[in-house]
Copies of this chain bind each other. A is one copy, B any other.
Amino acid sequence: MVSIGDIGERALLSRILERMPTGREHTLLGPGDDAAILAAPDNRTVISTDTLIEGPDFRLDWSTPQQLGHKAIVVNLADIAAMGARPTGLVVALAAPADTEVAFLESLASGMADALQRQAPDIGIVGGDLATAPQLVIAVTVFGTLDGAAPVTRSGANPGDIVAIAGAMGHAAAGLDLCFGGALQAGAPALPAAQRQLIEHQLAPNPPIDAGVTARIHGATAMLDVSDGLLLDAHRLAQASGVTLDLRPARWRDETLALAAKRGCSNEEALAFELNGGEDHALLATFPATVDDAPTSLPVPFRQIGVVQQSADAPVTVDGAAAPATGWDPYAAASTGTTSR
């Protein structure tokens, strides 16, 4: 077993780079110089950054390096999608202990490449940074283009709009619950396929990245990606827009029943996963209720989960009852020892 300390930065970089796509359409200057150059076809670049850190954000006894690489890419792509933009490229800064196996980082790079192949096959990793750290740090910054259009921010929702979602609700949270329950421990009994899928939602989610552009084209008034919990992120959208979001669980009861069946839990527990869970990186968006006096037909894969109302005391209600802004706060979680978000 060869560690990255054995082969040094230059050899490691070359082993990682040969596994990663450097991009086609948008990459004007790829890795290897002091900086990369990415095309910005409409004179603007959409930018988001997100860091995954061993311990607070992931555990190496739960995630494979491929899953980690996959997740680091898609959670960043989801932020670009949430603006109604399409991704154009990424940069990746990796820091790892010097005794990390080279094969581990090669697998992580392969996981990144596979995620890009699946979710954004024309773009690549245009630059990065390699460093040492006491534990693994994956810092990704992602870029996108709006192709001349206005961004879909969090602040445009209007009373009367439809509240809709694209992507899974609560699956990643149910998967995390299975992980905490010991499902991945050595010697644990084999899991049913449905439960393995839920864990896969947590460890290597596949949010509907393309749905971001779809939402913009279909007139979405506000959007964000649900990263910290549906209720918490709904609060953020409601407060940015100055409205109240009323969620109507009866509208997605079939999904709740299906999640309960997959997880093997009560319908109430399944609904709690859906309302408090975040790491599916679903897209939460609002759409006008009518277009040209006809009722809006939501674009696939969006489905209605609520309605936008005039701002009331509570920014978010569930069937009219005030809902708390429960969800992920990294600092609060750190004090209670919670892992992941």
Residue ranges of A at the interface with B (Cβ–Cβ < 8 Å)? 4-5, 7-10, 12, 28-29, 32-41, 43-51, 53, 55-57, 79-80, 82-83, 85, 89, 91-93, 95, 97-98, 126-135, 137, 139, 141-144, 146, 151, 153-155, 223-225, 240, 329-335
> CB distance A9 to B51 under 8 Å?
no
Contact residue among B33, B83, B89 (Cβ-Cβ distance under 8 Å from A33)? B83
Please list the 9 inter-chain residue pairs (A to B) with the smallest Cβ-Cβ separation, ordered nearest first: A40-B40, A98-B334, A139-B139, A35-B48, A34-B82, A141-B141, A132-B334, A51-B93, A56-B132
> CB distance A129 to B56 under 8 Å?
no
- 10 A-B pairs besides A37-B46, A47-B141 with CB distance below 8 A are A9-B330, A34-B48, A34-B225, A38-B45, A40-B43, A47-B127, A48-B91, A50-B129, A51-B95, A132-B330
Cα distance, A32 to B128, chains bound together (Å): 25
Contacts of A126 in B (CB 8 A): 47
> CB distance B43 to A43 under 8 Å?
yes
> CB distance B330 to A130 under 8 Å?
yes
> CB distance B134 to A134 under 8 Å?
yes
Cα distance, A155 to B47, chains bound together (Å): 28
A282 to chain B, nearest CB (A): 13
> CB distance A5 to B46 under 8 Å?
no
16 contacts between A and B (CB under 8 A): A4-B331, A34-B83, A34-B225, A35-B46, A36-B48, A38-B44, A45-B45, A47-B91, A53-B131, A53-B132, A55-B132, A93-B139, A98-B334, A132-B334, A133-B137, A134-B134
> CB distance B129 to A51 under 8 Å?
yes
Contact residue among B33, B44, B53 (Cβ-Cβ distance under 8 Å from A133)? B53
> CB distance A38 to B49 under 8 Å?
no
A324 to chain B, nearest CB (A): 14
Cα distance, A129 to B224, chains bound together (Å): 15
